[in-house]
Amino acid sequence: MKIALAQIDTTVGDLRGNSEKILSALDEACRRGASLAVFPEQTLGGYPALDLWEEPGFAAANEKALAALAKKVRGTAALVGFVSRWKGKVGKPVRNSAALLHNGKVVAIRHKTLLPTYDVFDEARYFEPASENKPISWGGLKLGVTICEDAWAKDPSTSRRLYDIDPVAAQAKAGADLLLNLSASPFLRGKTEVRKKLLAEHAKRLKKPLFYCNAVGGNDEIVFDGGSLAYDAQGKLRARAAFAAEDLLGIDTKTWEGATVAPEPSAVGQVGEILTLGIKDFAGKCGLQTAFLGLSGGIDSAVAAALAVRALGPHRVVGVTMPSSYSSQGSLDDAQALAKNLGIELRTAPIAGVYDALVATLGDKWGKGTPDLAEQNLQARARGVILMGLANKAHRGFVLTTGNKSELAVGYCTLYGDMCGALAPLADAPKRLVYELAGWLNSDRQIIPSNSIAKAPSAELKPDQKDQDDLPPYDQVDDALEAWVQSRLEPGRVARAVGDRAVAETLLDRMDWSEFKRRQAPPSIKISSKAFGVGRRMPIAKAGWRVRAGL
Amino acid sequence: MKIALAQIDTTVGDLRGNSEKILSALDEACRRGASLAVFPEQTLGGYPALDLWEEPGFAAANEKALAALAKKVRGTAALVGFVSRWKGKVGKPVRNSAALLHNGKVVAIRHKTLLPTYDVFDEARYFEPASENKPISWGGLKLGVTICEDAWAKDPSTSRRLYDIDPVAAQAKAGADLLLNLSASPFLRGKTEVRKKLLAEHAKRLKKPLFYCNAVGGNDEIVFDGGSLAYDAQGKLRARAAFAAEDLLGIDTKTWEGATVAPEPSAVGQVGEILTLGIKDFAGKCGLQTAFLGLSGGIDSAVAAALAVRALGPHRVVGVTMPSSYSSQGSLDDAQALAKNLGIELRTAPIAGVYDALVATLGDKWGKGTPDLAEQNLQARARGVILMGLANKAHRGFVLTTGNKSELAVGYCTLYGDMCGALAPLADAPKRLVYELAGWLNSDRQIIPSNSIAKAPSAELKPDQKDQDDLPPYDQVDDALEAWVQSRLEPGRVARAVGDRAVAETLLDRMDWSEFKRRQAPPSIKISSKAFGVGRRMPIAKAGWRVRAGL
CATH number at residue B317: 3.40.50.620
- CA distance to partner chain B, nearest, from residue A158 (Å): 12
- CA distance to partner chain B, nearest, from residue A551 (Å): 7
Query: Is-contact B466 B331, C-beta < 8 A?
Result: no
- CA distance to partner chain B, nearest, from residue A436 (Å): 29
- CA distance to partner chain B, nearest, from residue A54 (Å): 9
* pLDDT above 90 as % of chain A: 92
Query: Is-contact A515 A464, C-beta < 8 A?
Result: no
Max distance between CA atoms of chain A, in angstroms, equals 84
Say if residue B391 is in the same domain as residue B531.
yes
Query: Which residues of A are known catalytic residues?
Result: 41, 112, 148
Range A225-242 burial, b when 16+ CB lie within 10 A, else e: bbbbbbbbbebeebbbbb
Say if residue B415 is in the same domain as residue B479.
no
Per residue in A512-547, pLDDT (tens digit) is 999 999 999 999 999 999 999 999 999 999 868 888
In-domain check, residue A478: no
In-domain check, residue B266: no
Q: At A231, is the secondary structure helix, strand, or coil?
A: strand
Amino acid at B93: P
CB within 8 Å: A539 and B13: yes
Instruction: Please pick, among B128, B142, B148, B213, the residue that the annotation labels catalytic.
Output: B148
Contacts of B122 in chain A (CB under 8 A): 117, 122, 125, 537
Say if residue B251 is in the same domain as residue B115.
yes
In-domain check, residue B264: no
In-domain check, residue A443: yes
Contacts of A63 in chain B (CB under 8 A): none
Contacts of A524 in chain B (CB under 8 A): none
Return the pLDDT at B84. Answer: 98
| Residue B538 structural domain | 271-462+515-545
Return the sign of the alpha-carbon dihedral for residues A350, A356, A362, A366.
positive
Say if residue B151 is in the same domain as residue B221.
yes
Of A366, A373, A389, the CB nearest to B362: A389
In-domain check, residue B265: no
Contacts of B164 in chain A (CB under 8 A): 90-91
Say if residue A275 is in the same domain as residue A409.
yes
CB within 8 Å: A389 and B281: no
Supply the DSSP symbol for B314: G
In-domain check, residue B550: no
Q: Kindly state the helix (H) or strand (E) to which residue B212 belongs, with its residue range.
A: strand B210-214
Return the pLDDT at B542. Answer: 87
CA distances from B525 to A443, B13, B76, B531 (A): 50, 20, 36, 8
Among B259, B294, B312, give the residue marking a domain's end. B259
Distance CA A288, CA A422 (A): 10
CATH number at residue B123: 3.60.110.10
Distance CA A334, CA B299 (A): 49
Say if residue B396 is in the same domain as residue B536.
yes
In-domain check, residue A118: yes
Q: Say which residues have a Cβ less than 8 Å from residue A247's Cβ, sequence separation at least 6.
A: A5, A7, A216, A226, A228, A241, A262
- CA distance to partner chain B, nearest, from residue A59 (Å): 10
Say if residue A192 is in the same domain as residue A316.
no
Return the pLDDT at A368. Answer: 77
Q: Which residue in chain B has the smallest CA separation from A63?
A: B549
Amino acid at A47: Y
Distance CA A543, CA B12 (A): 9
In total, how many domains does chain A have?
Answer: 2
Q: Does ipTM top 0.90?
A: yes
Contacts of B92 in chain A (CB under 8 A): 162
Say if residue B284 is in the same domain as residue B396.
yes
Of A12, A61, A118, the CB nearest to B539: A12
In-domain check, residue B10: yes
Amino acid at B257: E
pTM for the structure as a whole: 0.97
Rg value, chain B, Cα:
25
- B58-72 helix and B15-31 helix, angle to the nearest 10 degrees: 30
Detail the DSSP E strand segments found in A76-225: 77-85, 94-102, 105-111, 117-118, 121-122, 136-138, 141-147, 178-183, 210-214, 216-219, 222-225
Return the pLDDT at A549. Answer: 80
CB within 8 Å: A286 and B58: no
Q: Which residue in chain B has the smallest CA separation from A367?
A: B393
Distance CA A307, CA A524 (A): 14
Instruction: Indicate the pLDDT class of residue A367, thresholds 50, 70 and 90.
Output: low
Mean of the pLDDT values across residues A380-408? Answer: 97
Q: Of B177, B249, B244, nearest to B212 (Cα)?
A: B249
Say if residue B120 is in the same domain as residue B62.
yes
Query: Is-contact A281 A311, C-beta < 8 A?
Result: no
- CA distance to partner chain B, nearest, from residue A4 (Å): 27
The verdict on whether B112 is a catalytic residue reads yes
Say if residue B452 is in the same domain as residue B506.
no
CB within 8 Å: B281 and A388: no
Of B50, B349, B372, the CB nearest to A539: B50
- Kindly give the parts of chain B with pLDDT less than 70: 367, 543
Q: At A114, is the secondary structure helix, strand, or coil?
A: coil
How far does chain B reach from its first CA to its final CA, in angstroms? 59
Say if residue B528 is in the same domain as residue B417.
yes
Contacts of B56 in chain A (CB under 8 A): 488-490
The count of CB pairs under 8 A between chains A and B is 301
CB atoms within 10 A of CB A463: 8
Q: Of A80, A74, A67, nearest to A35 (Cα)?
A: A74
The verdict on whether B460 is a catalytic residue reads no
Instruction: Indicate the pLDDT class of residue A64, thresholds 50, 70 and 90.
Output: very high
Return the pLDDT at A370. Answer: 84
Among B206, B234, B259, give the residue marking a domain's end. B259
Exposure of A236 in the CB half-sphere (CA atoms within 13 A): 8
Say if residue B432 is in the same domain as residue B478.
no
- A329-342 helix and A299-312 helix, angle to the nearest 10 degrees: 20
Query: Is-contact B550 A61, C-beta < 8 A?
Result: yes
CB within 8 Å: A353 and B357: yes
Per residue in B283-307, pLDDT (tens digit) is 999 999 999 999 999 999 999 999 9
> Which of B85, B354, B359, B396 should one mutate to test binding to chain A, selecting the residue with the greatest count of A CBs within 10 A?
B354
Amino acid at A464: D
Per residue in A466-518, pLDDT (tens digit) is 888 889 999 999 999 999 999 999 999 999 999 999 999 999 999 999 999 99
Return the pLDDT at B355. Answer: 97
Per residue in A181-193, pLDDT (tens digit) is 999 999 999 999 9
DSSP string, A425-471: TTTTS-HHHHHHHHHHHTSSS--S-HHHHHSPP---SSTT--HHHHS
